[in-house]
């Protein structure tokens, strides 16, 4: 038993190391992508497409990828995802056209589908029920820690290029940033290729496993996942533009304002996941939704970047409480031989919502006013939290 536990911990440690490297761009990408889009002449709607096309690919691929991880194993899909990210950053580095960014974001959607579904299935395979939310939280921590380092790398490159740029330099450090991220992706690929084992349950290799069992709690979880994904991604393409217009602060100061939120994600998800393991998934999920709703409703009232830092740190705290609990609930509600497909269906529900959200948010921003997406998001998240509290029945868990 001790040997099995040690092997499980080694597997999770390798998975977290690989995700640390691949996650270097993730924190800063939401900030940089709209600004890079504006620099190359993309409209607000086209910037929304940068986000929507990513989620569209996850919608199309994740059910198939989930089945594939159950049938052929987790490791091949994880490696393909890491390699795909390396290719996308090279595309980013050598194109400055809107169509090129759309191609790169499409490829990132494919890579993300492969990588995250495999990572979630691996975590569910090797983490026991009593520590499952903690394991998912630790995964989020590693990703967040890497993304914070990646943000510092990006801002350092931008500031350095500004100081040394000549009159004929107009690159802004974008190519250098994307090339660094490509190298980091290759490091992540090497770590996983060298040390990550296959974790798929042995019986799946030679027998057709039963379909995912559909229950009322499972259907309700998928419904809420899709709705909240659509709601949150309404604000993704317009957040930074809104903040720059309202607060009138430079990009580097906005990046610093988001740093406390990154630190929350880098330090607390595993600890908050432990609370979900101890007190139940539903309580932490509802707390996360209601807290996030309050934060979204306060965004249009921000007066300065310090208030933004405090507010976004609070949002990170609520999200870090709810997300590991939700991922653990996916594994709780489905069988051991269905995890790949279960996470594929779960990701499909979120992807469907996230495909619609960015375009809807851009439309609300331009037609009904810049504050509208944030208020709409607050209302939807509140309603979803109430629905979960009233109707979600958690499975009885082993002690």
SS (H, E, C) 75-143: HHHHHHHHHHHHHHHHHHHCCCCHHHHHHHHHHHHHHHHHHHHHHHHHHHHHCCHHHHHHHHHHHHHHH
Q: Percentage helix, strand, coil, to 5, in the chain? A: 85, 0, 15
Is pTM beyond 0.85? Reply is no
Alpha-carbon distance of 380 to 387, in angstroms, equals 11
Cβ partners under 8 Å of residue 247, min gap 6: 254, 302, 304, 305, 308
Q: Is residue 398 part of a domain?
A: no
CB-hemisphere CA count at 13 Å for 312? 23
What is the domain extent for residue 345?
Answer: 2-391
Q: Is residue 399 part of a domain?
A: no
Alpha-carbon distance of 85 to 68, in angstroms, equals 19
Alpha-carbon distance of 36 to 40, in angstroms, equals 6
Closest CA to 241 of 46, 107, 377, 24: 46
Q: Is residue 396 part of a domain?
A: no
Alpha-carbon distance of 392 to 61, in angstroms, equals 28
What is the reported pLDDT for 242?
Answer: 79
Q: Is residue 334 part of a domain?
A: yes
What is the reported pLDDT for 381?
Answer: 95
Closest CA to 6 of 121, 126, 135: 126
Alpha-carbon distance of 349 to 384, in angstroms, equals 15
DSSP 394: P
What is the reported pLDDT for 169?
Answer: 39
What is the reported pLDDT for 2?
Answer: 52
pLDDT in tens, the chain (399 residues): 455 566 788 899 999 999 999 999 987 787 778 777 777 777 777 887 888 788 788 778 888 898 898 888 899 999 999 999 999 999 888 887 888 888 899 999 999 999 999 999 999 888 877 788 899 999 999 998 999 899 888 888 877 776 655 444 345 678 889 999 999 999 999 999 999 999 887 654 444 555 566 788 899 999 999 999 988 888 877 777 777 777 777 766 776 777 888 889 888 899 899 999 888 899 999 999 999 999 999 988 888 888 888 988 999 899 999 999 999 898 888 766 677 888 888 888 887 887 788 778 878 888 888 888 899 999 999 999 999 999 998 876 543
Contact 252, 159 (CB under 8 A): yes
Alpha-carbon distance of 263 to 267, in angstroms, equals 6
What CATH number should be reported for the domain holding residue 146? 1.20.1250.20
Q: Which ranges in 203-338 belong to alpha helices (H)?
A: 216-233, 239-247, 251-267, 269-279, 281-298, 305-333
1 exposed, middle or buried (CB, 10 Å; 0-12, 13-18, 19+)?
Answer: exposed
What is the reported pLDDT for 206?
Answer: 42
Q: Is residue 62 part of a domain?
A: yes
DSSP 24: T
Number of domains in the chain: 1
Contact 66, 341 (CB under 8 A): yes
Contact 74, 65 (CB under 8 A): no
Q: How many CB atoms lie within 10 A of CB 13?
A: 13
What is the reported pLDDT for 398?
Answer: 43
3-class SS at 235?
coil
Alpha-carbon distance of 352 to 345, in angstroms, equals 10
CB-hemisphere CA count at 13 Å for 351? 23
Q: Is residue 397 part of a domain?
A: no
Contact 80, 196 (CB under 8 A): no
3-class SS at 249?
coil
Closest CA to 135 of 270, 14, 278: 270
Alpha-carbon distance of 282 to 296, in angstroms, equals 21
Q: Is residue 339 part of a domain?
A: yes
**126 φψ region: left (φ > 0), alpha (ψ -120 to 50), beta (else):** alpha
């Amino acid at each position: 038993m001790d040997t099995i536990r040690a092997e499980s911990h080694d597997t999770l440690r390798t998975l977290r190391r690989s995700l640390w490297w691949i996650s270097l761009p993730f924190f800063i990408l939401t900030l940089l992508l709209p600004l890079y889009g504006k620099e190359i002449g993309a409209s607000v709607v086209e910037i929304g497409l940068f986000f929507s096309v990513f989620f569209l690919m996850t919608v199309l691929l994740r059910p198939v990828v989930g089945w594939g991880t159950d049938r052929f194993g987790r490791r091949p899909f994880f490696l393909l995802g890491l390699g795909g990210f390396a290719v996308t950053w090279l595309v980013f580095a050598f194109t400055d056209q809107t169509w090129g960014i759309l191609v790169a974001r499409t490829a990132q959607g494919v890579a993300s589908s492969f990588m995250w579904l495999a990572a979630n299935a691996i975590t569910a395979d090797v983490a026991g029920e009593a520590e499952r939310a903690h394991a998912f939280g630790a995964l989020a921590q590693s990703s967040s820690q890497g993304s914070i380092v990646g943000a510092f790398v990006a801002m350092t490159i931008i500031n350095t290029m500004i100081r040394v740029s000549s009159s004929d330099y107009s690159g802004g450090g974008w190519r250098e940033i994307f090339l660094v991220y490509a190298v980091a992706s290759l490091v992540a690929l090497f770590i996983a290729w060298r040390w990550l084992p296959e974790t798929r349950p042995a019986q799946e290799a030679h027998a057709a496993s039963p379909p995912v069992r559909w229950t009322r709690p499972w259907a309700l979880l998928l419904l809420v996942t899709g709705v909240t994904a659509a709601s949150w991604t309404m604000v993704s393409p317009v957040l930074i533009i809104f903040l720059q217009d309202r607060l009138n602060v430079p990009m580097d100061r906005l990046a610093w304002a988001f740093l406390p939120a990154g630190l929350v994600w880098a330090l607390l998800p595993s600890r908050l996941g432990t609370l979900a393991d101890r007190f139940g998934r539903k309580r932490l999920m509802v707390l996360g939704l209601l807290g996030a709703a309050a934060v979204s409703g306060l965004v249009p009232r921000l007066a300065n970047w310090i208030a933004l830092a405090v507010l976004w740190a609070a949002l990170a705290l609520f999200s870090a409480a709810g997300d590991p609990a939700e991922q653990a609930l996916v594994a709780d509600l489905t069988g051991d031989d269905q995890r790949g497909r279960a996470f594929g269906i779960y990701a499909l529900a979120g992807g469907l919502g996230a495909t619609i959200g960015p375009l809807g948010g851009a439309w609300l921003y331009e037609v009904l006013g810049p504050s509208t997406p944030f208020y709409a998001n607050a209302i939807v998240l509140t309603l979803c939290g109430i629905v979960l509290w009233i109707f979600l029945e958690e499975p009885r868990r082993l002690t």
